[in-house]
Amino acid sequence: MVNVAVSTFSFPTTILFGAGAVERLPEELRKRGMSRPLLVTDAGLARTAVFERVASLASGAVVFSAVEPNPTERNVLDGLAVYQQNRCNGIIGVGGGSPLDAAKAIRLKVTHELPLAEYDDLLDGADRISANVPPYIAIATTSGTGSEVSRSTVITVAATNRKTVVFSPHLIPVLAIADPELTLALPPHLTAGTGMDAFTHNVEAYISKGYQPICDAIAFSGARMVWESLPRVMADPRDLEARSQMMMASMMGAIAFQKGLGATHSLAHPLSSDCGMHHGTANAVMLPFVLEFNRPAVAGRLAELAAQFGGGDIAAQVRDLNRRVGIAPRLRDYGVAEAQLPALADKAIEDGCHQLNPRPSTREDLLALYRAAL
């Protein structure tokens, strides 16, 4: 008998997975009475054939495409206004993590009047979130955040200019449509960045603090799937089998990180909000340094991960994976300057993800990790 505190395990997401799954969208909308949904995406995706395909299946939908790469509270409030003005009765999120997260936050604000900052997970915001939210279908077009199956949304809130995590089981989409065909045209740099985001989710979930053997098993397998499939996708973007594996690994990472993440994410969030780095790319750059930092606390788990990747040093293996998928190794390669690091460390220590890092980290530790990665 394992001697642990009482834990809560929950995996309630309904998922339609496989090539062509998006064609089921009209039927799923009818089931849920979504005759006038708000279709949330970003401006870039709105100009693509992928979006046109989804929009053609959602008759009566009202399009909101003003979501930024790192979604802000302003994006959420603007989307809410469109929802209310058009008397929508549900939400469809289409895209990567940014539009899917923005759609979740719009969904919350339809029925919850407090400012978004009041729902911050660090302030026990989940206690203020009820099940009274409109139906939401999430359609992923990347394999990275796994937002389509997660219970969290990350929004930059105006009051703090900090990426804020809002976390509640009531935010989970009523349906996730995971169709790997929608990822076939994803540009190489986004394939790499989002893929390494999925890898980081699985790795950090596996080594994070807490007793969650179900999540551990999912994360361990998800990390291996990315390791095997992401280089294949980079070599042949039309490899549907590898794209399918990446989409599944992305969802596995998001399911697993209900257990927790770690310092990599606390470091990556300010790099996105303040320096404009793609979130997954920021994770990829920081992950090897954080793994080295964490080795004294979880040497056994890191060795287990390294073994399934062929053996050796886990940090060196991740650096090599970054190289193989075309991600530059240093923050300076993305325009980050030494003078920015203290302010980034101030925000990183305020981010809640590091609280479940296997090795406790102070502001000075996080600043040192930024400097090592510069």
158 or 229, which is more confident: 229
3-state class of 205 per DSSP?
helix
Query: Where does the pLDDT of residue 258 fall: very low under 50, low under 70, confident under 90, or very high at 90 and above?
Result: confident
User: pTM for this one?
Assistant: 0.90
- Position 107 scores a pLDDT of 97
Exposed (0-12), middle (13-18) or buried (19+): which is 48, by Cβ within 10 Å? middle
Contact 126, 118 (CB under 8 A): no
Span 255-278, average pLDDT: 94
Q: If you average pLDDT over every residue of the chain, what do you get?
A: 93
For residue 175, pLDDT beyond 90: yes
Sequence-ordered list of residues with C-beta below 8 angstroms from that of 174, at least 6 positions apart, any chain? 14, 32, 135, 136, 137
Domain extent listing, the chain: 15-182, 188-373
Token duo for residue 139: 């359609």
Give dist(CA 21, CA 15) in Å, integer. 10
Q: pLDDT tens digit string along 207-244?
A: 999 889 999 999 999 999 999 999 999 999 999 999 99
Query: Where does the pLDDT of residue 3 fall: very low under 50, low under 70, confident under 90, or very high at 90 and above?
Result: low
From 162-171, 197-206, 209-218, the region with the lowest mean pLDDT: 162-171
CATH topology of domain 188-373: Dehydroquinate synthase-like, alpha domain (1.20.1090)
For residue 6, pLDDT beyond 80: no
Give dist(CA 283, CA 295) in Å, integer. 18
Contact 83, 110 (CB under 8 A): yes
For residue 8, pLDDT beyond 80: no
Q: What is the CATH number of domain 15-182?
A: 3.40.50.1970
- Position 1 scores a pLDDT of 41
> Are 15-182 and 188-373 equal in CATH topology?
no
For residue 77, pLDDT beyond 80: yes
- Position 158 scores a pLDDT of 85
Using a pLDDT cut of 90, give the percent of the chain over it: 83
